Amino acid sequence: MSVQAADGPVRALLVEGVHPVAAELLSAAGVVVETEKRAFGPEELAERLQGVHVLGIRSRTQLTAEVLAAATDLRAVGAFCIGTNQIDLPSATERGVAVFNAPFSNTRSVVELAVAEMIALTRRLTVQDDAMHAGRWDKSAKGSHEMRGRRLGIVGYGRIGSQLSVLAEALGMSVRFFDTADRLALGNARRCATLDELLADSDVVTLHVDGRAGNSGFFGEEQFARMVPGAVFLNLSRGFVVDHVALRKHIESDHLAGAAVDVFPTEPAASGDPFESDLRGLPNVILTPHVGGSTEEAQLDIGDFVTGKLLGYLQNGTTALSVNFPEVLLPHLEGVTRLLLLHRNQPGAMAHVNSALADNGLNVEQQQLSTAGHVGYAVTDVRGPLTAQVVEQLRAMPEIMRVDVLPC
């Protein structure tokens, strides 16, 4: 099914090298697509979004309230990644911009990288590799350990943490985890009551926490000091979670045997840009450029998944798995006009809408409403003459935040 905007074709801008499958699927549905391999700063992004209805981003593009205010034509955003902390979600909701992400598609890729890095650090493969490339043959078992019997501490037991737990047990590791939410322990994993309990009982500590603002600076000097001497540390979650100066100190003092970091507080905007970090040059420290989910398989899955959600919204108003809209899925009905109504969740809002439709000779054939927090979202199929005047009447209602009309 093709999609159409009120004044012409739907236009999409995909940045940061979103997988080509996204452009292919959007184009097949009649969307005019522009692609860019780099991220944009706020001012340039605001300028590029003029006349754009759909924006596709990854983790580096910051979609601020100011950018959203300037993007008056924007209807939907696809975050082709797991996190959405780079998007001002309250502002997007207030402006009626639906946001979709890919919460599952690259989980396996992140988990496999974590397993590879745990093995590499515990066997000190990076140190041995450096020595060999420098022409030194230094055959020694000192500091090198098997994974079997090692104690793994997982901080954050969501989709990634719990899947890592299963693979780690298959390697013979003893798994414990800490999470502020109630989580079901898988296999023989043991829940720790506090973070300190986990740190004092883990040979490997790996972070898999989300990007909420409260996690900024979550892991610093105090936490590193509580880790077991000779332990290794991994962060494949968010860059602002960890104090890198403190981590460097504990690597240089030999308190920690190694670390692997995939995310950084400040990351270059594009491939090839200079990279600076307090962690550069340290022995047995693996630094990767935010590639935890960057396998060809994961990026293809993400491109397909997020684009499917965007097209579902553009074609039918479907908001299943939207990050910021209530979930609505209404079956297609022939011969009707579909209204997408985002409104403030207050008594009488839909009564006013339906009364206005009836007063203008429009019959509601089917309707589905869902609410979440302060907003409600209703998909309404009407039969009859839906004029521009009726649509403007709906938009003028104080409780209405956004009205979009989908053709028959």
Q: Which of 267, 352, 365, 383 is catalytic?
A: 267
User: Do 116 and 102 sit in the same domain of this protein?
Assistant: no
More confident residue, 147 or 106: 147
pLDDT at 269 exceeding the cut of 90: no
Tens digit of each residue's pLDDT (9 = 90 or more) over 359-395: 999 999 999 999 999 999 999 999 999 999 999 999 9
Report pLDDT for 214.
86
pLDDT exceeds 80 at position 54: yes
If asked whether residues 152 and 118 sit together in one domain, one would say yes
Active site residue 352: no
pLDDT for the residue numbered 407? 74
Does one domain contain both 77 and 130?
Answer: no
Rounded Cα gap, residues 80 and 56, in angstroms: 7
For residues 120 and 235, state if they share a domain: yes
CATH label of the domain that carries residue 364: 3.30.70.260
Q: Which of 3-7, 109-113, 345-349 has the lowest mean pLDDT?
A: 3-7
Active site residue 374: no
Q: What is the mean pLDDT of residues 19-34?
A: 97
Residue 186 has pLDDT above 70, yes or no: yes
Q: 55-79, pLDDT tens digit by residue?
A: 999 988 999 999 999 999 999 999 9
Same domain, 20 and 153: no
Q: Stretch 5-32: mean pLDDT, rounded?
A: 93
**pLDDT value at 183 more than 90:** yes
Catalytic choice (75, 108, 290, 343): 290
- Give the chain's mean pLDDT: 95
- pLDDT beyond 90 at 8: no
Helix (H) or strand (E) holding 385: none
Q: Would the pTM count as exceeding 0.85?
A: no
Do residues 375 and 400 lie in contact, with contact meaning Cβ atoms separated by under 8 Å?
no
Same domain, 218 and 299: no
Instruction: Give CA–CA dist 5/30, Å, rounded.
Output: 11
Pair 185, 270 in one domain: yes
Three-state SS for 121?
Answer: helix
Domain with residue 168: its CATH number is: 3.40.50.720
- Choose the catalytic residue: 124, 238, 250, 402: 238
Q: How big is the chain by its Cα radius of gyration, in Å?
A: 25
User: What is the model's pLDDT at position 139?
Assistant: 94
Cross-strand partners of 154: 177, 206
Count of the separate structural domains present in the chain: 3
Verify that 91 and 10 share a domain, yes or no: yes
* C-alpha span between 250 and 338 (Å, rounded): 60
Tell me, yes or no, if 267 is annotated catalytic: yes
Is residue 179 scored above 70 in pLDDT?
yes
pLDDT of 2 strictly over 70: no
Query: What average pLDDT does range 85-93 have in this prediction?
Result: 95
Interval 242-265 mean pLDDT: 97
| Residues spanned by the domain of 384 | 333-408
